[in-house]
Structure 1
Amino acid sequence: MLVEDIMNTNVVTLQPSATIAKALELLHKHKIRHIPIVNEENEVIGIVSDRDVRDASPSIFESASGDAHPELQNQLHTIMSSPVVTVHPLDFAEEIASIFYEEEFACVPVVSNDKLIGMVTEKDMLYSLIQLTGTNVQGSHIEVKVPDRPGILPEVTAIFGKRRTNIVSVLIYPYKQDPAFKILVFRIQTMNPLPVIDDLQEAGFTLIWPKLDMQGPRP
């Protein structure tokens, strides 16, 4: 899945000469948490978050006093974060997830030819995860422990193919107890996975989920 598939292209921007008051207005109006700061060529030169604006705004006690607040007329270049980490629309969404995790970002601007064309937020990343895992499609969840060797994935998926079972998604992660094994996680489009489970067991594979000692498999 590419960044261009999940990014929001309707991006609210401001220039560095705009005021904190204007940023505060747009944050509330559009119910957003970040505003990219761009120059006249639409190049990203900074970013302002709701926290930046909140920290630069008068407190609730000062607001209640009715006094004027000239700090709200300060320009955004005085509080914006710069330089800004950006991504390309042809980057893989699952790869830029590391940026969100390692940098603790809540969003990243998407840039092509040095111009801002979109934004990706934490919510966008979570939605892409839902799509990649197939949890948005009704079906059943199966986890199989397999040896970590070439050709094991088509060997297992062939078992599903014999039952003409549609595989919605496949994930692979390490088996913590023994690095010689992997866990294959399948989301299949059937509410009755019992025939496939029986076939997997007959082929000698170990089922991690559903548990064999349960009364029945969990969808």
Structure 2
Amino acid sequence: MLVQDVMRFPVITVGPGVTLEEAYRLLLEKGIRHLPVMEEGRLVGIITDRDIRLATSHLNPKGPCPGCAQVGEVMTREVVTAHPLDPVEEAARVMRERKIGCLPVLEDGALVGIVTGIDLLDALLKLTGVTEPSGRLEVRLPDRVGELFRLTGFLAKRGVNIHSLLSYPEDGDVVRAVVRVNTLETHLLAEGLRQEGFEVLWPPKKPW
């Protein structure tokens, strides 16, 4: 899954000369938290609802109207961006490392979309198959060639279709595989897997 599959477009933007009050009203009206700042067709910054709240709270309440300050005065100028063809997991990694809530998406310098943390959570739900009726298996496998094939072969022999399969390494030369399948009878599958020597973590073994 790529960024272009989950990004939002068209993107709501503001110019650097817009007041903080106007920008905040736009955020509330549209139900969003981030506004890319555009000037002459170029992305020059980004401002968030948090930026606006912090900026207005630090201004002198007895001075000029705090909300009358301009977006260009408080926006973040060094904007971290993504490309439409970036994998969603790379976008998630960047957002996690930079501790940011969104990535404007640029293609040939043009703003073509924006991806947020919520969009990446939606992507995760799709990747794991939980948006469709399915059963869940979680199996710990030795980290060696052929183990995933052995697992999928077991399911294929029983006529079970795989909706999604995610795996990740653990310490100790093992891999954990999370499989979504087209049946809710996962306890029966789990028992069959255990009889074949697989270490099944989910569903747990029934006490009887």
Same fold? TM cut 0.5: yes
The one-letter amino acid paired with 1:106 is G
Whole-angstrom CA distance in 2 between matches of 1:202 and 1:145? 14
Match of 1:127 in 2: 122
1:174, 1:181 within 8 Å by CA — same for their partners in 2? Answer: yes
1:133, 1:171 within 8 Å by CA — same for their partners in 2? Answer: yes
**What is the correspondence of 1:23-42 to structure 2 with a 5 Å cutoff?**
23-41=23-41
Could you tell me which runs of 5 or more consecutive residues in structure 2 were left unpaired when the two chains were aligned.
none
How much has 1:133 moved relative to structure 2?
Answer: 1.0
Pick the aligned partner of 2:162 from 153, 161, 167.
Answer: 167
Whole-angstrom CA distance in 1 between matches of 2:158 and 2:207? 23
- Using the size of structure 2 for normalisation, the TM-score is 0.91
1:159, 1:196 within 8 Å by CA — same for their partners in 2? Answer: no
2:36, 2:43 within 8 Å by CA — same for their partners in 1? Answer: yes
Match of 1:206 in 2: 199
The one-letter amino acid paired with 1:28 is L
Secondary structure at the aligned position of 1:9 is classed as coil
Whole-angstrom CA distance in 2 between matches of 1:46 and 1:121? 16
Q: Any runs of at least 4 consecutive aligned residues in structure 1 with deviations exceeding 6 A, and if so which? A: none
Whole-angstrom CA distance in 2 between matches of 1:91 and 1:182? 25
Secondary structure at the aligned position of 2:93 is classed as helix
Secondary structure at the aligned position of 1:15 is classed as coil
Whole-angstrom CA distance in 1 between matches of 2:96 and 2:14? 27
How much has 1:72 moved relative to structure 2?
Answer: 2.3
Secondary structure at the aligned position of 2:166 is classed as strand
How much has 1:161 moved relative to structure 2?
Answer: 0.6
Pick the aligned partner of 1:190 from 167, 183, 207.
Answer: 183
The one-letter amino acid paired with 1:184 is A
The one-letter amino acid paired with 1:138 is P
How much has 1:69 moved relative to structure 2?
Answer: 4.6
Q: Would you say 1:10 and 2:5 are equivalent positions?
A: no
How much has 1:131 moved relative to structure 2?
Answer: 0.7
The one-letter amino acid paired with 2:55 is A
Q: CA RMSD in A?
A: 1.9
**What is the correspondence of 1:114-153 to structure 2 with a 5 Å cutoff?**
114-153=109-148
How much has 1:165 moved relative to structure 2?
Answer: 0.7
Are the structure 2 counterparts of residues 214 and 98 from structure 1 closer, same or farther at C-alpha, using a change threshold of 3 Å? farther
Moved more, 119-128 or 182-191: 182-191
Secondary structure at the aligned position of 1:57 is classed as helix
- Using the size of structure 1 for normalisation, the TM-score is 0.87
How many percent of aligned residue pairs carry the same amino acid?
36
